[in-house]
């Protein structure tokens, strides 16, 4: 049980990443594909935060906590994950803007029906 | 001096912000002048820093100098290669902005500053990536340049192909970026560090490499190789480069793809080259195999294109393969050669894209068959294309030729043959285009009308809209002067002897191996090989123009062309396969270690 | 043993587990209702966690969720009105259960917190949570448009 | 490539990647382990600069250069979306008909709107002290504005949302971040160094030197950026009509259903 | 106890992410993604990262669904009203 919980967060991150990739590769709808890409990105948040966790520790925010009174988790990964969330949201928006234009110019959002750009 | 390093990012960003804020108030002319001034200023700054980069500069952003060897801040590395790339980026940005001065379409209403602002942000992202000394910071700038590149690629939203290419580009590159981030997470978990040098040191302290190091290496390299368009991560590149506006193509092909190669070099050299990293034999195998595949695929596909921008895009893939082969030797000579080659290639490739852009704006097509003989009046442009093709082939004394000859001697054996062949074939394809389009040589192709004839797995160059509002009656001077200057620069890179020596010194100071004195100069063998590939290119082109039937697309290339299916799902599947291949290629050393 | 965290774990496992099942299966109306319930249940869970970790600072999360959760549901109600109009979701029992749970948790945490600024914040959260949840579920059930209330 | 072929490729590539990731997971330090050298140094550095929220210290002080990149990504994405979602020559705008939203929803929206805006400001303002900061608060505030669309109609939103000032605000906030960084450089320190202002009293709003300034700049940048971003999408979804679409537009998605069922 | 709640949150995230991939219709997927946003925020809270949790809530609960649904609306409107758009093809309709 304990050995499992010691790797479970990492395994969940790996699973989520692979699931997102699978969805992206087999998607029949570009909007769905963009959603799958954000699932892939969720994996990176999970991995980063799992890496920074420390048993029995609390958040490194000292507004309601005397510094040094309790162990704290790693703030660096949190800052990285924070940046990552922003990046994810903006990339999603930009991709959706492109999907809107693809729908306009091709009349479809099914990747199977996009027949340009071959060879 | 080192405090000025972050300005390479801050200045273009500030320029972009001001352009975005004031863009709707000022006329287009002012916006473009401001953008050019900012790009030029950044270029000057990069060159200034470059002249002071010996010994390499290190800046801790926010003034967080290391205490007892550890810093909580972000390191910026201002060594020769990094600043050299930043200078190259800035010069090309300036060239792209100058090129788009007259040619580019009217901006969307009320957003006169949007296009130049985006180009400046692109420059900032690339400069930031080139000078990053911190893995996560490198990811941030990597993502910034990707995001801007997606938007710039899809800039012509009326074009069906442009938005599709931009979407494929965006999906594949974003996935690559997330893989890179997963790798960063794994490496941070092991080492607790984010600085490149610190991660390397901590890995070495930990002991021999294990599966974690392998996974970190594979994931980080996946991200960078997607950017560098190595096989099998290359599918997005032709789709994006063929449809992006010409000034953007110049930047994408000229430097952004090369920054992926630069990233591979930097990350391997700083992080994974120690005893705790990946054994040299494995890294060599990974880079050599992928490089060789990339060069072959790029050259073959390049030969079979009739869409001129797509043809140039594939030639970029072929050359990326050659760069990977060069750094795959893991020798100082290989690095020196590639560094010079990248500089020369940037000038030549940007100039060729600029010429393709002139064709597009003048005739509303970039199809080799349709344009047959039509560009005879554009004699000057024709000369530029031929000169560019010779530069691509590696005719001495181009910078490409010097870099190629140094790299050829470093790789040795059958890979030298690959170097000669790949550069010859890509150059021959360009020469073929020049002979048909500008001279009207050879029989008129049957499908010169532009309709039909193309099989399902061929992208023709018809149906592309000019980037200017109307077709150009006369080619503006800026559009011809810029490629001419770029070609002159590429020529100077090889012809000025001090340049090669300076590059070699900068490279040796930057590598973790320490100072190794290498000499970069013309050798009889190098000159001979350069001449050989030029002669081969001319012969191939002559054959293709004179006897088109003899070299018409053979059946065996069809499966290769079918792989480029334009389907995003396929590209993602190949990306997954690519990570597996990377892992398998790097596995032996981990198992034995 | 921390009862607050245990309670949060139960709410998460049972409540969010059930809404997850609801949002994945069945007709659209059921999925939309389940999405609304997920925010209505996660908010009390966040309050319980803040109390369990003895970190009043974490209450901000519940505050933001109480504000934005119903907004998210309104997004669905507004933009899916076409699809939901023919077959409006009715999840009265579940909605009221969630609202009651939210109210109970707010009361329990308030009692544990005692008077002060934190209490005001908790009461605001409680009001936003219960009110927002009820309005959002009503909007889903076809109450988005004038004259179509039922 | 046929779907079956693609599936095989995904299976092969995915299996390889899965094996690699699982092997790496087994080699990772165990979850919840006690070794976080970088994190401990960051906490120390944060306390030395009187920043109660260590994450804010990492984001806006120690790794402020990363945040500059993050902000630029948002800035670039907004600029890119504006360009990508622009009204092209073959499109025109149709005025949406006002929607009739039921009274409880409208009341709720108008009631919550100020609360949500305040929440956003609160989250931004306390960034250096408690969880939150410019990004989180900015998104909350910008989302709050769109309650007008959800609770009233698109015209009501457009009245409080002239886009030009928001676009300018986005760019100016980005400039403000850069200028704060440059000011430190001009003052003789490094770019983005937190040396301009006194560090203040721990755990108050006026602590942590330039962190609150950068935080506020990001808050404004994000709020404006999200408004502009959503405006692009709303315009496309509600107003902009191209030749492929029927010109008759209504802002109220429920209308046809209503007409069909008198 | 803290470990149990982490395991619960992790399993919820895993299940929700899988569901978000498996649900093929974009409208339904955006509902699942909204729930995924909330579940991720809970996970970040139990991993003691309230800052990240807040930003995930801010982005995931209303902003991302709004963007997704507006895109769906634009795309569907074309598909329904314009059987022959500029490209002359009928858009495939993914949903009900």
Q: Does A87 touch chain D (CB under 8 A)?
A: yes
Residues A103 and A109: their CA atoms lie apart, in Å, by 5
Exposed, middle or buried by CB within 10 Å (0-12, 13-18, 19+), for D103?
exposed
Note whether residue A107 is domain-resident: yes
pLDDT reported for residue B448: 58
* B143:D69 CB<8 A: yes
Q: Does C49 touch chain E (CB under 8 A)?
A: yes
CA C147 to chain centre: 26
Q: Count of domains in chain B? A: 3
Q: How many helices (H) and strands (E) does chain E have?
A: 4, 0
Tokens 């309670």 belong to residue: C7
Q: Which residue of A has its CA nearest to B558?
A: A119
pLDDT reported for residue B109: 59
Q: Which of B144, B215, B562 sits opposite D69 (nearest CB)?
A: B144
Which domain, by its residues, includes B391?
279-437+478-544
Q: Which of E18, E49, E67 sits opposite A81 (nearest CB)?
A: E49
Does B272 share its domain with B209?
yes
* Cβ contacts of B547 within 8 Å, gap of 6 or more: none
CA-closest candidate to residue A17, choices D12, E14, E52, E56? E14
pLDDT reported for residue B463: 67
Exposed, middle or buried by CB within 10 Å (0-12, 13-18, 19+), for C82?
middle
Q: What is the DSSP string of B422-485?
A: HHHHHHHHHHHHHHHHHS--SPPPTTTT-SS---TT---STTPPPSSSS--SS--HHHHHHHHH
What is the DSSP-derived secondary structure letter of residue D251?
Answer: S
Terminal CA-CA length for chain E: 44
Does B125 share its domain with B172?
no
Residue numbers in E near C125 (CB within 8 A): none
Q: Is the pLDDT of residue B347 over 90?
A: yes
Position B259 confidence tier, pLDDT thresholds 50, 70, 90: very high
pLDDT reported for residue B103: 58
CA-closest candidate to residue C77, choices C43, C37, C33, C27? C33
Q: What is the pLDDT of residues B488-541, one digit of tens each?
A: 999 998 888 888 888 888 888 877 666 666 777 888 888 999 999 999 999 999
Does B223 share its domain with B194?
yes
* Length of chain C as a residue count: 150
* B190:D58 CB<8 A: no
Residues B276 and A37: their CA atoms lie apart, in Å, by 33
Q: What is the pLDDT of residues D187-231, one digit of tens each?
A: 888 888 877 777 777 777 777 788 888 899 999 999 999 999 998
Position E92 confidence tier, pLDDT thresholds 50, 70, 90: very low
Average pLDDT over residues B158-167: 88
pLDDT reported for residue B296: 93
Q: Is the pLDDT of residue B105 over 50?
A: yes
Note whether residue B148 is domain-resident: no
Residue numbers in D near B193 (CB within 8 A): 37-38
Average pLDDT over residues B376-382: 89
* Cβ contacts of D214 within 8 Å, gap of 6 or more: D60, D64, D67, D134, D177, D180
Q: Which residue of D has its CA nearest to C143?
A: D102
Cis peptide before B232 (omega within 30 of 0): yes
Q: Is the pLDDT of residue B222 over 80?
A: yes
CA-closest candidate to residue B84, choices B383, B470, B342, B324? B342
CA-closest candidate to residue B247, choices B36, B401, B437, B438? B36
* A63:C53 CB<8 A: no
* E59:A88 CB<8 A: yes
pLDDT reported for residue D261: 33
Quick count: other Cβ atoms within 10 Å of Cβ B296? 18
Average pLDDT over residues B414-426: 92
* E81:D139 CB<8 A: no
Q: Which residues of chain C have pLDDT under 70?
A: 1, 143-150
Q: Is the pLDDT of residue B353 over 90?
A: yes
Q: Is the pLDDT of residue B384 over 90?
A: yes
D242 in helix, strand or coil? strand
Q: Is the pLDDT of residue B282 over 60?
A: yes
pLDDT reported for residue E34: 92
Which domain, by its residues, includes A81?
2-113
Q: Is the pLDDT of residue B393 over 80?
A: yes
* E31:C31 CB<8 A: yes
Written in H, E and C, the secondary structure of B290-327 is HHHHHHHHHHHHHHCCCEHHHHHHHHHHHHHHHHHHHH
Residues A19 and B295: their CA atoms lie apart, in Å, by 32
Does B523 share its domain with B379?
yes
Looking at B96, B131, B166, the residue that finishes a domain is B131
pLDDT reported for residue B110: 59
pLDDT reported for residue B427: 94
Q: What is the pLDDT of residues D19-32, one digit of tens each?
A: 999 999 888 888 87
Does B303 share its domain with B431?
yes
Q: Is the pLDDT of residue A40 over 90?
A: yes
* D134, D215 Cβ separation under 8 angstroms: yes
Handedness of CA B256, B261, B262, B266 (dihedral sign): positive
Tokens 């602590």 belong to residue: D207
Specify the DSSP element, H or E, that contains D5.
helix D3-27
Quick count: other Cβ atoms within 10 Å of Cβ B524? 8
Q: What is the DSSP string of chain A?
A: -HHHHHHHHHHHHHHHHHHHHHHHHH-SSHHHHHHHHHHHHHHHHHHHHHHH-BTT-B-SBTTSS-TTSS-B--HHHHHHHHHHHHHHHHHHHHHHHHHHHHHHHHS---GGG---S--
Average pLDDT value over all residues in chain B: 87
Exposure string of D154-185, with b = 16+ CB inside 10 Å and e = fewer, is bbbbbeebebeebbbbbbbbbbbbbbbbbbbb
Residue numbers in A near D73 (CB within 8 A): 86-87, 90
Tokens 């006690």 belong to residue: D34
Q: Is the pLDDT of residue B223 over 90?
A: yes
CA D124 to chain centre: 12
Quick count: other Cβ atoms within 10 Å of Cβ B314? 28
CA distances from B426 to C63, D137, E20 (A): 61, 53, 44
Percent of chain D surpassing pLDDT 70: 90
Specify the DSSP element, H or E, that contains B57.
strand B57-61
CA-closest candidate to residue C63, choices C46, C76, C48? C46
Q: Is the pLDDT of residue B476 over 90?
A: no
Q: What is the pLDDT of residues D130-156, one digit of tens each?
A: 888 889 999 999 998 888 888 777 777
pLDDT reported for residue A112: 82
Q: Which residue of A has its CA nearest to C118?
A: A64
Q: How far is A113 from chain C (nearest CA, A)?
A: 26
Task: Provide the β-strand partners of residue B70.
Answer: B67
* CA geometry: angle B416, B422, B426, nearest 5 deg: 155
Q: Is the pLDDT of residue E18 over 90?
A: yes
Cis peptide before B55 (omega within 30 of 0): yes
* B115, B107 Cβ separation under 8 angstroms: yes
Position B322 confidence tier, pLDDT thresholds 50, 70, 90: very high
Average pLDDT over residues D99-113: 81
* Cβ contacts of D135 within 8 Å, gap of 6 or more: A82, A85, A86, D218, D219, D222, E55, E58
Position E87 confidence tier, pLDDT thresholds 50, 70, 90: very low
Q: What is the DSSP string of B6-29?
A: THHHHHHHHHHHHHHHHTTTS-HH
Q: Is the pLDDT of residue B178 over 90?
A: yes
CA-closest candidate to residue A60, choices D96, C36, D40, D240? D40
Residues B513 and B508: their CA atoms lie apart, in Å, by 8
Return the structure tokens found at B428: 């021959």
Residues A75 and B210: their CA atoms lie apart, in Å, by 27
Q: How far is B206 from chain A (nearest CA, A)?
A: 17
Residue numbers in D near C128 (CB within 8 A): 112, 115
Higher pLDDT, B317 or D37: B317
Note whether residue B472 is domain-resident: no
Q: How far is C14 from chain D (nearest CA, A)?
A: 25
**Helical residues (DSSP H) of B207-307, grouped into ranges:** 211-228, 236-243, 246-251, 257-267, 280-303
B516 in helix, strand or coil? coil
Q: Hey, which of D86-100, E33-47, E63-77 has the most confident mean pLDDT? A: E33-47
Average pLDDT over residues B152-169: 88
Q: What is the pLDDT of residues E29-51, one digit of tens each?
A: 999 999 999 999 999 999 999 99
pLDDT reported for residue B454: 46
Q: What is the pLDDT of residues B295-312, one digit of tens each?
A: 999 999 998 888 899 999
* Cβ contacts of B412 within 8 Å, gap of 6 or more: none
Q: Which residue of E has its CA nearest to A15?
A: E14
Lowest mean pLDDT among B565-574, D118-127, E83-92: E83-92
Residue numbers in D near A5 (CB within 8 A): 31
CA B190 to chain centre: 32
Position B126 confidence tier, pLDDT thresholds 50, 70, 90: very high
Question: How large is the C-alpha radius of gyration of chain B?
Answer: 22
Q: Is the pLDDT of residue D57 over 60?
A: yes
Average pLDDT value over all residues in chain A: 88
Residues B230 and B237: their CA atoms lie apart, in Å, by 10
B-D Cβ pairs (cutoff 8 Å, strict): 243
Return the structure tokens found at A24: 């992206």
What is the DSSP-derived secondary structure letter of residue D59?
Answer: I
D32 in helix, strand or coil? strand
Q: Hey, which of B152-161, B174-183, B445-454, D52-61 has the most confident mean pLDDT? A: B174-183
pLDDT reported for residue C2: 84
Note whether residue A118 is domain-resident: no
Domain-by-domain residue ranges, chain D?
A: 36-255
* Cβ contacts of B481 within 8 Å, gap of 6 or more: none
Note whether residue B7 is domain-resident: yes
Residues B467 and B99: their CA atoms lie apart, in Å, by 12
* B520, B500 Cβ separation under 8 angstroms: yes
Lowest mean pLDDT among A1-5, B481-485, D42-46, E92-96: E92-96
Residues B412 and B299: their CA atoms lie apart, in Å, by 20
A58 in helix, strand or coil? strand
Position E56 confidence tier, pLDDT thresholds 50, 70, 90: very high
The pair phi, psi for residue B48, each rounded to 5°, is: -60, -45
pLDDT reported for residue B107: 57
Average pLDDT over residues A12-31: 92
* Cβ contacts of D114 within 8 Å, gap of 6 or more: none
pLDDT reported for residue B266: 92
Q: Is the pLDDT of residue E82 over 90?
A: no
Q: Is the pLDDT of residue B445 over 80?
A: no
* Cβ contacts of D198 within 8 Å, gap of 6 or more: D209
Residues B366 and B467: their CA atoms lie apart, in Å, by 12
Lowest mean pLDDT among A57-61, A65-69, B44-48, B123-127: A65-69
pLDDT reported for residue B482: 92
* CA geometry: angle B349, B353, B356, nearest 5 deg: 140
pLDDT reported for residue B217: 93
Q: Count of domains in chain A? A: 1
Residues D24 and A10: their CA atoms lie apart, in Å, by 9
């Amino acid at each position: 049980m304990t050995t499992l919980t010691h790797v479970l967060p990492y395994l969940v991150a790996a699973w989520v990443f692979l699931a997102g990739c699978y969805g992206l590769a087999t998607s029949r709808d570009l909007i769905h594909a963009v959603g799958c890409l954000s699932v892939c990105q969720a994996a990176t948040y999970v991995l980063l935060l799992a890496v920074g966790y420390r048993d029995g520790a609390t958040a490194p925010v000292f507004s309601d906590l005397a510094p040094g009174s309790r162990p704290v988790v790693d703030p660096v990964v949190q800052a990285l994950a924070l940046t990552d969330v922003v990046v994810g949201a903006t990339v999603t928006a930009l991709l959706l803007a492109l999907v809107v234009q693809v729908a306009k110019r091709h009349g479809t959002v099914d990747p199977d029906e996009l027949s340009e750009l071959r060879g | 001096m080192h405090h000025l390093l972050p300005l390479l990012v801050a200045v273009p960003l500030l320029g972009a912000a001001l352009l975005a804020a004031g863009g709707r108030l000022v006329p287009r002319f002012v916006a473009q002048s401001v953008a050019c001034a900012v790009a030029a200023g950044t270029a000057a700054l990069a060159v200034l820093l470059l002249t002071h980069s010996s010994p390499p500069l290190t800046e801790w952003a926010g003034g967080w100098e290391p205490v007892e060897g550890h810093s909580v801040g972000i390191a910026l590395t201002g060594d020769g290669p990094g600043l050299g790339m930043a200078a190259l980026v800035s010069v090309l940005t300036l060239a792209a902005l100058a090129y788009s001065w007259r040619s580019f379409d009217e901006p969307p209403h009320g957003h006169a500053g949007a296009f130049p602002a985006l180009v400046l942000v692109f420059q900032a992202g690339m400069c930031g990536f080139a000078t990053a000394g911190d893995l996560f910071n490198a990811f941030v700038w990597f993502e910034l340049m990707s995001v801007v590149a997606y938007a710039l690629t899809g800039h012509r939203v009326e074009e069906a192909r442009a938005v599709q290419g931009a979407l494929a580009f965006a999906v594949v590159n974003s996935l690559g970026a997330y893989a890179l981030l997963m790798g960063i997470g794994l490496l941070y978990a092991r080492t607790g560090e984010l600085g490149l040098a610190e991660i390397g040191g901590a890995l070495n302290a930990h002991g021999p490499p294990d599966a974690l190091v392998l996974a970190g290496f594979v994931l980080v390299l996946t991200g960078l190789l997607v950017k560098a368009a190595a096989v099998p991560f290359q599918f997005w590149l032709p789709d994006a480069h063929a449809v992006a506006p010409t000034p953007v193509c110049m930047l994408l092909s000229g430097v952004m793809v090369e920054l992926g190669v630069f990233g591979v070099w930097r990350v391997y050299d700083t992080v994974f080259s120690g005893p705790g990293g990946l054994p040299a034999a494995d890294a060599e195998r990974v880079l050599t195999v992928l490089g060789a595949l990339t060069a072959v695929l790029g050259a073959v596909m390049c030969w079979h294109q009739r869409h001129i921008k797509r043809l140039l895009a594939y030639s970029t893939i072929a050359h990326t393969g050659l760069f990977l082969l060069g750094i795959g030797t893991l020798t100082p000579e290989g690095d020196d050669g590639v560094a010079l080659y990248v500089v020369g290639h940037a000038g030549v490739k940007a100039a060729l894209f600029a010429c393709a852009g002139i064709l597009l704006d003048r005739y509303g097509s970039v199809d080799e068959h349709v344009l047959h003989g039509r560009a005879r009046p554009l004699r000057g442009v024709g000369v530029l294309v031929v000169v560019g093709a010779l530069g691509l082939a590696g005719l001495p004394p181009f910078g490409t030729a010097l870099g190629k000859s140094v790299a050829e001697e470093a790789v040795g054996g059958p890979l030298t043959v690959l170097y000669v062949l790949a550069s010859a074939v890509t150059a021959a394809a360009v020469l073929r285009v020049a002979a048909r389009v500008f001279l009207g040589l050879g029989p008129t192709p049957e499908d010169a009308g532009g309709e039909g004839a193309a099989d399902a797995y061929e992208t023709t160059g018809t149906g592309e809209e000019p980037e200017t509002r109307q077709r150009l009656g006369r080619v503006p001077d800026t559009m011809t002067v810029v490629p001419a200057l770029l070609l002159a620069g590429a020529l100077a890179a090889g012809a000025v002897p001090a340049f090669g020596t300076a590059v070699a010194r900068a490279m040796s100071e930057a590598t973790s191996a320490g100072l190794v004195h290498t000499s970069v100069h013309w050798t009889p063998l190098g000159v001979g090989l350069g001449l050989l590939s030029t002669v081969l290119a001319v012969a191939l082109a002559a054959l293709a123009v004179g006897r088109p039937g003899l070299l018409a697309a053979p059946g065996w290339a069809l499966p290769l062309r079918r792989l480029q299916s334009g389907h995003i799902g396929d590209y993602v599947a190949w990306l997954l396969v690519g990570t597996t291949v990377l892992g398998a290629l790097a596995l032996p050393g981990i198992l034995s270690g | 043993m921390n009862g607050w965290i245990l309670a949060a774990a139960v709410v998460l496992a049972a409540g969010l587990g059930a809404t997850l099942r609801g949002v994945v299966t069945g007709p659209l109306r059921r999925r939309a209702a389940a999405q609304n319930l997920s925010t209505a249940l996660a908010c009390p869970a966040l309050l319980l966690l803040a109390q369990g970790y003895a970190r009043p600072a974490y209450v901000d999360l519940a505050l933001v969720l109480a504000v934005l959760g119903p907004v998210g549901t309104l997004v669905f109600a507004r933009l899916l009105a076409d699809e939901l109009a023919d077959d409006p979701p009715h999840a009265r029992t579940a909605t009221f259960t969630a609202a009651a749970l939210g109210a109970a948790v707010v009361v329990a945490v308030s009692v544990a917190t005692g008077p002060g600024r934190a209490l005001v914040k908790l009461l605001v959260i409680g009001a936003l949570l219960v009110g927002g949840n009820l309005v959002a579920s009503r909007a889903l059930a076809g109450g988005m448009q004038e004259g179509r209330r039922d | 490539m046929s779907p079956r072929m693609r599936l095989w490729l995904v299976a092969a590539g995915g299996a390889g990647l899965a094996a690699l990731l699982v092997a790496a997971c087994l080699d990772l330090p165990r979850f919840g382990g006690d070794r976080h050298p970088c994190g401990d140094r960051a906490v120390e550095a944060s306390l030395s600069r009187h920043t109660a929220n260590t994450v804010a210290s990492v984001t806006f002080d120690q790794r402020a250069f990363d945040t500059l990149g993050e902000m630029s990504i948002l800035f670039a994405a907004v600029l890119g979306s504006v360009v990508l979602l622009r009204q092209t020559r073959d499109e025109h705008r149709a005025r949406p008909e006002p929607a009739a939203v039921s009274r409880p929803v409208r009341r709720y929206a108008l009631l919550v709107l100020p609360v949500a805006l305040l929440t956003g400001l609160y989250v931004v303002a306390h960034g250096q002290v408690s969880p939150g900061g410019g990004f989180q608060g900015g998104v909350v505030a910008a989302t709050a504005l769109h309650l007008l669309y959800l609770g009233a109609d698109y015209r009501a939103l457009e009245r409080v949302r002239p886009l030009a000032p928001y676009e300018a605000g986005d760019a100016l906030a980005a400039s403000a971040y850069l200028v704060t960084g440059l000011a430190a450089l001009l003052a003789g320190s490094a770019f983005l160094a937190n040396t301009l202002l006194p560090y203040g009293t721990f755990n108050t709003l006026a602590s942590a030197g330039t962190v609150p300034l950068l935080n506020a700049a990001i808050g404004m940048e994000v709020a404006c950026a999200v408004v502009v971003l959503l405006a692009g999408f709303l315009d496309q979804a509600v107003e902009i009509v191209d030749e492929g679409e029927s010109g008759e537009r209504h802002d109220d998605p429920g209308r046809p259903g209503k007409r069909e069922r008198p | 106890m803290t470990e149990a709640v982490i395991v619960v949150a992790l399993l919820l995230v895993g299940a929700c992410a899988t569901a978000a991939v498996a649900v093929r219709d974009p409208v339904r997927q955006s509902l699942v993604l909204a729930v995924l946003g909330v579940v991720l925020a809970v996970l970040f809270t139990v991993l003691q990262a309230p800052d990240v949790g807040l930003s995930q809530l801010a982005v995931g609960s209303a902003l991302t669904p709004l963007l997704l649904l507006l895109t769906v609306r634009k795309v569907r409107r074309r598909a329904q009203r314009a059987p022959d758009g500029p490209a002359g093809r009928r858009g495939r309709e993914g949903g009900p």
